[in-house]
Chains A and B, each alone.
Chain A
């Protein structure tokens, strides 16, 4: 038996040496291609942002620099405009609520489908991806009567979470599904069950800790969606951060304000997502 094993190993080792030069060349070419793609797409994304930033810093005469447009975002010099702070607060709360609900809905359901009702997985995937195919405006038309009903009981913009959870489903589903695919859910849960774990313990102490990265991804995607959402909030007559920024820019004669508010909201979202993903990564590293 030992003879067979060592024969098998040596025959595997040998052919790896010859094409090393070829592989190195291929790898160099691939790297070059990578940098090229990275540069082209980087410019594609960064140039409009830079232009926007530049325009938001435009002074009264063309070619001069000024912080006026930025000051106007935070200044409360317009008596009829509410301050930004409540809008930021409501948007953050919406992000948190949406993330929590999306995760609480999806994680146990997806684990359960994987373990017990495999045949449901296609249907479930279809349902989760459905919101992606429905334009926001149609969604609003459908949601309007429901929100009319909701408004009888609660006026807060927090009620937008119903719509946001649905909007976030496709992204969160994809992220979580990738995480679940990376672990052997049936074997791990059977092992845990045989050691005496209840279903709740299986999910909280075995499955979830092994899919932190994908839970984090789902959280980042959901938060990004909520932070940037404008259409539904605006059309359903709620005020979130995006709607607030839009109304600031509309109510000021200075055109640069439109751009300063856009850049500000982008930076706000970017900073938040950065914090989120760093916090998650530290947690991962702590676990080894």
Chain B
């Protein structure tokens, strides 16, 4: 499908614009919601802001949208300072977590609302509304009222409505969190397809790591109003900058180890370090479950890497196996076929793949399941 959105009304191809935030801060009384945030979203890029609730991700989005005022800092869009511009003049499309369609308007009227405010002729307006609804696959539901649409359909219409005004920036505030798992995954992929098609610079806020990793060009992991790491999804996952990122994104085993030089020794295995400048001494290594492989052990030896399977969790194509190592437990992620050969109670030998790992020196070396 060729998109009507890639071209503006005068027929020129449209490129996204760059969004810059410099030293953006926001306080709610004594609570610091956002602490001198610097973030640049490249033109046409989709950045997902990921983090636990209260980390400042939604505040960032609301400041960019102009729905709240920054205490300090600057926001520029395409080089233009919009820090003090009113929300209604910012030219941004926004999709909210709560269903936000106007209940008294049909899907078509909802999508056309922004165009009506821009005094676009009725015929053009209507045509565009239908085009937008086609883009989100809902042109047959154009004359339905929001209460006649499912949650997923409502969010699609909301997306069409946000895109109809050809916004400079698209802001998505956890648009999928009210939907059930299957619709969520579908709509997630669709948002990405549409965003690539339209080329609008996009900020996507979510607390769901899977969503962020699947959809974004870059993922920004936030904590306590600060950006912990901003990197492509694969880097955030395999080369986390901090132990918070490592533990927030994906499951992590915390294993006691000793750092010496470029490696950390964990249960007799030497693993390379993500950060070679880590000071030597005892530390906790963060090991991904998929870096751990298991093999049935019939020798009956006891060693640091031999244990007993205590639980197998079926996840579909893969299974998660919990192994008791005597002094700690460790999680391993295997294909379901492999896991089927290791029922609970069986003795297994572990291998840890030498992926670069991160160590955290702060907490005691206890395993977390």
Contacts of A190 in B (CB 8 A): 65, 67, 87, 94, 96, 100
Query: Interface on B for A, CB 8 Å cutoff?
Result: 65-67, 87-94, 96, 98-104, 106, 113-114, 117-118, 145, 158, 161-162, 165, 171, 180-182, 185, 316
Contacts of A206 in B (CB 8 A): 102
Beyond A192-B113, A209-B104, whether A187 also contacts B185 by CB under 8 A is no
Which of A5, A184, A201 is B117 in contact with, Cβ under 8 Å?
A: A201
A sample of 14 cross-chain residue pairs with beta-carbon separation below 8 angstroms, ordered by A number, consists of A1-B181, A184-B99, A184-B100, A191-B94, A191-B158, A193-B87, A194-B92, A194-B162, A195-B88, A195-B162, A196-B117, A197-B88, A201-B117, A209-B104
Contacts of B67 in A (CB 8 A): 190, 193-194
- Size of A's binding interface in residues, CB under 8 A: 24
Asked if A196 contacts B114 (CB within 8 A), the reply is: yes
Question: Within 8 Å of chain B (Cβ to Cβ): is A277?
Answer: no
Query: Interface on A for B, CB 8 Å cutoff?
Result: 1-5, 183-184, 187-188, 190-198, 201, 206, 209-210, 287-288
CA distance A210 to B103 in the complex (A): 7
Interchain Cβ contacts within 8 Å, total number: 78
Assuming A195-B88, A288-B106, what are 14 further A-B pairs, CB within 8 angstroms? A184-B98, A184-B99, A190-B67, A190-B94, A190-B96, A195-B113, A195-B162, A196-B91, A196-B114, A196-B118, A201-B117, A210-B102, A210-B104, A288-B145
Closest 3 CB pairs of A and B: A195-B114, A191-B100, A194-B94
Min Cβ gap A122→B in Å is 19
Min Cβ gap B147→A in Å is 10
Closest to B117 in A: A196
Min Cβ gap B217→A in Å is 23
CA distance A195 to B109 in the complex (A): 13
CA distance A5 to B180 in the complex (A): 8
Asked if B88 contacts A1 (CB within 8 A), the reply is: no
Asked if B165 contacts A188 (CB within 8 A), the reply is: no
Min Cβ gap A79→B in Å is 56
CA distance A201 to B165 in the complex (A): 17
Closest to B96 in A: A187
CA distance A4 to B118 in the complex (A): 46
Beyond A191-B96, A191-B100, A196-B118, whether A1 also contacts B185 by CB under 8 A is yes
Asked if A198 contacts B88 (CB within 8 A), the reply is: yes
Min Cβ gap B353→A in Å is 27
Beyond A183-B103, A188-B100, whether A195 also contacts B181 by CB under 8 A is no
Contacts of A287 in B (CB 8 A): 104
CA distance A5 to B94 in the complex (A): 29
Asked if A4 contacts B103 (CB within 8 A), the reply is: no
Asked if A194 contacts B98 (CB within 8 A), the reply is: no
Most interface-central of A188, A196, A209 (chain B CB within 10 A): A196
Closest to A193 in B: B87
CA distance A22 to B180 in the complex (A): 32
Asked if A195 contacts B96 (CB within 8 A), the reply is: no
Min Cβ gap B77→A in Å is 14
Closest to A207 in B: B102
Closest to B181 in A: A1
Contacts of B182 in A (CB 8 A): 1-2, 5
Contacts of A4 in B (CB 8 A): 181
Closest to B97 in A: A187
